[in-house]
Amino acid sequence: MQFIINGGRKLQGEIQLAGAKNAATKMMVASLLTEEPCVLENFPLIGDTQITAELCQALGSKVSLRGSVLEIHTPEIINHKVASLSRRNRIPILTLGPLLSRVGKAEVPILGGDKIGPRPVDLHLNALIKMGAKIEVSGESYIASVKDGLRGALIEMEFPSVGATENIILAAVLARGKTVIHNAATEPEVIELIKMLQKMGAIIELGANRLIEIEGVKKLRGVVHRILPDRNEAVSFGCLAVATNGSILVKEARQQDLITFLNALRKIGGEYEVTKEGIRFYRERSLTGLKIETDTHPGFMTDWQQPFVVLLTQSQGESVLHETIYEDRFGYTQDLNLVGAKIKLSSKCLGDLKCRFKVETYIHSAIVSGPTPLAGGNFQVKDLRSGIAHIIAALIANGQSTIQGVEEIDRGYERIDERLRELGADIRRI
């Protein structure tokens, strides 16, 4: 599938955010922890939730959808093996905790690296081993088991990994005793998962300095929970409004989840107005460059750099972007250079933050010189967020662009083409 886009129009109007992809999928996994039904409201209809629904169904969940309300109910785990087809996203590894808690065994496919880096799961596995799990590698799977249930442990994480923090929490809520996580991730989606689990009966304390403490309980109950709005969609639409010199009210965008982005946007000449309904984004003046670094929450998120880099190609002067979360997340800049952008990549740490890639040769900094008009081009989507950068570039380009590999964008953005057409975009799916 591909998108054909004719650029050059200002996008204007209102757009409603969907529920957050990176919370919805984890909440579906959390529902596996109870025999009772769970209801997820504001459920996003995207590729990743579809894949996760198939995964849960194969384990024994009954899944039904009414509008944007999902009911997911797993009275019994009928299968402890997650099929290899679930390798299409990174959710299978998170099922280890619930499966070990409910049936004492689990088998999940080994996830390789992808187009943004090698993405190891050592932090996940080491924590579960400390909690009493035995984990073996067999062929293309991790085979895990536990005798007499998981037990609480002290986990010190070298890096505040989002997925590993979620995995430990999901494993700890039904474990015997207390689990303490030092250097835990505190992204809004992690906090929202904690809120859902607390409603289900879990006991989870949030301490200062990235400390999370979980006291295991014997049983969890069903829950009705509303999924928080997707802050990555909000950033994408905010960048789109400013890039096209339009004005978009992003309904339900939450200032509290976007503070670093809003500051960066204002510094380059974008503006926003926080209203009761959401945040309206527009351009205040001609754009100017900025030095910026991606970081864990509450820093500038790695998933925001791709749409933001497109804005920086339209900004006067030199901008520098230092990516400290993933070692290989600038692949899409080659495509932007082919249509007129001037982006140079570097393996140096072009920033001040402590960076795990300092001693490596990973290409993880970018220097963007602008402004550069963009022409239409033929883009191949590399990962979800690079896909949105391609869409924004195509929407501000002179002429027509083709974007191939749209399925990757559909994994995380609900009906993106239809919603953008409502804002005045000339975009067709074929």
Q: Tell me the catalytic residues.
A: 114
How far is 289 from 342, CA to CA, in rounded Å?
A: 13
- List 212's β-bridge partners, or say none: 181, 206
- List 213's β-bridge partners, or say none: 180, 205
Helix (H) or strand (E) holding 335: helix 333-338
> Of the listed pieces 39-47, 70-78, 157-165, 265-273, which binds ligand EPU according to CB under 6 A?
157-165
> Of the listed pieces 77-85, 156-164, 260-268, 414-422, which binds ligand EPU according to CB under 6 A?
156-164
Does residue 108 bind ligand EPU (CB under 6 A)? no
How far is 220 from 268, CA to CA, in rounded Å?
A: 47
Shortest Cβ 157–ligand EPU spacing (Å): 9
Q: Which residue is nearest to ligand EPU (CB)?
A: 163
Does residue 326 bind ligand EPU (CB under 6 A)? yes
Question: Which of 249, 409 has the CB closer to ligand EPU?
Answer: 409
Q: What amino acid occupies position 17? A: L
Does residue 122 bind ligand EPU (CB under 6 A)? yes
Q: What amino acid occupies position 38? A: C
How far is 103 from 116, CA to CA, in rounded Å?
A: 34
Q: Rounded to the nearest 5°, which phi and psi values hold at 205?
A: -105, 140
Cis preceding-peptide flag for 371 (omega within 30 of 0): yes
Does residue 123 bind ligand EPU (CB under 6 A)? yes
Q: Which of 107, 230, 303, 335 binds ligand EPU (CB under 6 A)?
A: 303
Q: Which of 8, 75, 112, 120 binds ligand EPU (CB under 6 A)?
A: 120
Does residue 47 bind ligand EPU (CB under 6 A)? no
> Quick one: residue 142, left, alpha or beta (phi over 0 = left, psi -120 to 50 = alpha)?
beta
Does residue 117 bind ligand EPU (CB under 6 A)? yes
> Of the listed pieces 63-71, 140-148, 158-166, 214-222, which binds ligand EPU according to CB under 6 A?
158-166
Shortest Cβ 91–ligand EPU spacing (Å): 7
Does residue 200 bind ligand EPU (CB under 6 A)? no
- State the first-to-last Cα distance of the chain, in angstroms, to the nearest integer: 6
Q: Which of 10, 73, 102, 124 binds ligand EPU (CB under 6 A)?
A: 124
Does residue 164 bind ligand EPU (CB under 6 A)? yes
Q: Take residue 241 and report the two structure tokens written for it.
A: 């409004």
Does residue 385 bind ligand EPU (CB under 6 A)? yes
Does residue 22 bind ligand EPU (CB under 6 A)? yes
Does residue 329 bind ligand EPU (CB under 6 A)? no
Nearest 10 degrees: CA dihedral of 409, 410, 415, 417?
40
Shortest Cβ 285–ligand EPU spacing (Å): 31
> Of the listed pieces 65-73, 146-154, 301-309, 394-402, which binds ligand EPU according to CB under 6 A?
301-309
Question: Which of 187, 282 has the CB closer to ligand EPU?
Answer: 187
Give residue 299's Cα distance to chain centre: 14
The DSSP 8-state label assigned to residue 91 in this structure reads -
For 292-334, give the DSSP string.
EEB-STTSB-GGGHHHHHHHHHTSBEEEEEE--S-SS--TTHH
> Strands 178-182 and 212-215, how do they pair?
antiparallel
Shortest Cβ 222–ligand EPU spacing (Å): 24
Which residue ranges make up the site for ligand EPU (CB under 6 A)? 21-22, 90, 117, 119-124, 159, 161-164, 185, 187, 301-303, 325-326, 384-385, 412
